[in-house]
């Protein structure tokens, strides 16, 4: 199936641990994103990569480090996890994101719970 996929779907971990979330898209898109959805369902962009280059970094703590090994993958690594990092993280992709007018396709989300 053509889609945006994320692994894992659920992630439960202890405070202070380091964890990664993986995202892959097979839509041939150039731009990928990470969004965070908090417990009140509020969605906020964290990062965006265009052709493996970081183009948006929305004042996210530097404990969060995105990595894009190629334009089909955008992984999110989180160091020293804190309680406030508990959220649902969504990956998305779009064609040539610089114009602002392209639909973003979202993955199913990764629910991160920090204990």
Partner 1 sequence: AQSVTQPDIHITVSEGASLELRCNYSYGATPYLFWYVQSPGQGLQLLLKYFSGDTLVQGIKGFEAEFKRSQSSFNLRKPSVHWSDAAEYFCAVSPGGYNKLIFGAGTRLAVHP
Tell the smallest beta-carbon distance from residue 33 to partner 1 (Å): 7
Residue 55 contacts partner 1 per CB under 8 A: yes
Whole-number CA gyration radius for the chain: 13
DSSP state of 98: G
Using H for helix, E for strand and C for coil, what is the string for 29-68?
Answer: CCEEEEEEECCCCCEEEEEEEECCEEEEECCCCCCEEEEE
Tell the smallest beta-carbon distance from residue 114 to partner 1 (Å): 20
Residue 101 contacts partner 1 per CB under 8 A: yes
Position among 21, 71, 78, 97 found at the interface with partner 1 (CB under 8 A): 97
- Residue numbers 76-95 binding partner 1 by CB under 8 A: 90, 92, 94
Instruction: Report the distance separating Cα 10 and Cα 115, nearest Å.
Output: 13
Residue 115 contacts partner 1 per CB under 8 A: no
Site for partner 1, rule CB under 8 A: 4, 31, 33, 35, 40-45, 48, 55-56, 58, 90, 92, 94, 97-109
């Amino acid at each position: 199936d053509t889609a945006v996929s994320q692994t894992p779907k659920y992630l439960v971990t202890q405070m202070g641990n380091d964890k990664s979330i993986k995202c892959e898209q097979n839509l041939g898109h150039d731009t990928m994103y990470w969004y965070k959805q908090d417990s009140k369902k509020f969605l906020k962009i964290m990062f965006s990569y265009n052709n493996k280059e970081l183009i948006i970094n929305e004042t996210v703590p530097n404990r969060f480090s995105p990595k894009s090994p190629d334009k089909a993958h955008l992984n999110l690594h989180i160091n020293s996890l804190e309680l406030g990092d508990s959220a649902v993280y969504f990956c998305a992709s779009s064609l040539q994101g610089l114009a602002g007018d392209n639909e973003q396709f979202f993955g199913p989300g990764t629910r991160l719970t920090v204990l």
